[in-house]
Amino acid sequence: MSLALDPAAQDLLFREARTANTFTAEPVSEEQVQAIYDLVKYGPTSMNQSPLRITLVRSAEARERLVQHMAEGNRAKTATAPLVAILSADNEFHEELPHLFPHFPQAKDVVFSDRGVRESQAALNAALQAAYFIIGIRAAGLAAGPMTGLDFEGVRKEFLDDDHTPLMVVNIGKPGEDAWYPRSPRLEFDQVVTTV
Amino acid sequence: MSLALDPAAQDLLFREARTANTFTAEPVSEEQVQAIYDLVKYGPTSMNQSPLRITLVRSAEARERLVQHMAEGNRAKTATAPLVAILSADNEFHEELPHLFPHFPQAKDVVFSDRGVRESQAALNAALQAAYFIIGIRAAGLAAGPMTGLDFEGVRKEFLDDDHTPLMVVNIGKPGEDAWYPRSPRLEFDQVVTTV
């Protein structure tokens, strides 16, 4: 069974794409990040909530502050990747909803007045968008290195505020030498999919 | 700035792809779902946790039970989509880790002995995989209709067990007549991305 997506694109986005642990020195430009965002912004979220926020860590000083909050095993790559992005969920995303979801402009107050509801919705939908962003990095011909081994509360205090929940940090760039381990196994179809 | 991914693939996966609310009667085969899974299984998760589980609702009897747990506005499309999938997070994913993450076979016990840790990790990583699955449905030339307007506890009790947390229900098929609303706006780059 062949997919509609051409095999080269399948390789670029999934089959040959890998989580990179080393990178070349080639910089990642603002224009590249803009092109990635302009593609993946169309990925679907519940009621078009679009809660993902992206903090690009470009200054040496900010990079140093971030590295201190990474787990030991993630520090060297976070220090050396051409670009590092902190992905977070905006728990006040509902403020944008009257613009983002014109079909139901009251949603902001009717559905999302409770902060707990917003936090759980933002966590799910920002995670979907984080995945679209990873796919977008690959679509740009770059390697992504998403990491969750870090002090989330430290990163929040250092770079964000109480309204933003960090999800992950992503290294971005061209893969360097020995950029990845051998591919780990995946679960078989029958281990994942059941039919009722 | 152009991306490495060819423009037709960009359209197929993001720009022209839309959340469908109506579908043709054309069935979605087991082989199509298998091809989708065999592509998107390579999408990255933390420590290769791979917690996403997929329940395909194929029997008329199961479909009827599911529709009852959907929000009013989601019932008609869930009743008529060629295929419906319940996506859930397996909170006992760590049982597979010695196989899935051979670099660190002790992770199962050292990192994931606590159920609360597993639940939050599974929620994030299954959401990433849900996004990869949505992209995969589009890669197959099909439309996805992901929905979170439903009684999650009802769906869990009806189709899953205490170890699985439902994330969303996804309608899958070829788009039908008037399949979607006009595209809603997206946030501008500067509303989403900040640089430090």
- pLDDT tens per residue across all 196 residues of chain A: 789 999 999 999 999 999 999 999 999 999 999 999 999 999 999 999 999 999 999 999 999 999 999 999 999 999 999 999 999 999 999 999 999 999 898 999 999 999 999 999 999 999 999 999 999 999 999 999 999 999 999 999 999 999 999 999 999 999 999 999 899 999 999 999 999 9
CB contact under 8 A, B141 and A14: no
Q: Are A137 and A84 in contact (CB under 8 A)?
A: no
Task: Specify the CATH number for the domain of residue B130.
Answer: 3.40.109.10
Over residues B104-126, mean pLDDT: 95
* Mutation target vs B (from A33, A48, A133, A192; most B CBs, 10 A cutoff): A192
Evaluate whether residue A3 is within a structural domain: no
Classify residue B111: in a domain, yes or no.
Answer: yes
| Residue B171 included in any domain | yes
Identify which of B190, B124, B196 has the alpha carbon closest to the alpha carbon of residue A83: B196
- Whether A76 is in a domain gets the answer yes
In a domain, B195, yes or no: no
Kindly list the residues from chain B whose CB atom is less than 8 angstroms away from the CB atom of residue A41.
Answer: 186-187, 192
Average pLDDT, chain B: 97
Single out the residue of A183, A195, A99 nearest to residue B102, CA to CA: A183
Q: In this complex, do A4 and B32 lie within 8 Å of one another by their Cβ atoms?
A: no
- Interface contact flag, B140 A15, Cβ < 8 Å: no
Global pTM value: 0.98
Tell me, what's the ipTM? 0.98
Q: Is residue B181 part of a domain?
A: no
Residue B105's pLDDT is what?
A: 87
Residues of A in contact with B163 (CB under 8 A): none
Residue A195 located in a structural domain: no
Number of domains, chain B: 1
Chain B's closest residue to A61, CA to CA, is: B196
Polymer length of chain A: 196
Check whether B123 has a pLDDT greater than 90.
yes
Q: Is residue B6 in a domain?
A: no
Three-class SS state of A14: helix
Q: For residue A51, what are the domain limits? A: 16-176
- Which chain B residues are within 8 Å of A159, Cβ to Cβ? 196
Nearest CA to CA, how far is B52 from chain A (Å)? 7
CA separation, residue B45 to residues A61, A71, A87, B52, B87 (Å): 29, 17, 15, 10, 16
CA pair distance B127, B121, nearest whole angstrom: 10
Q: Report pLDDT for A2.
A: 87
Terminal-residue alpha carbon distance, chain B: 23
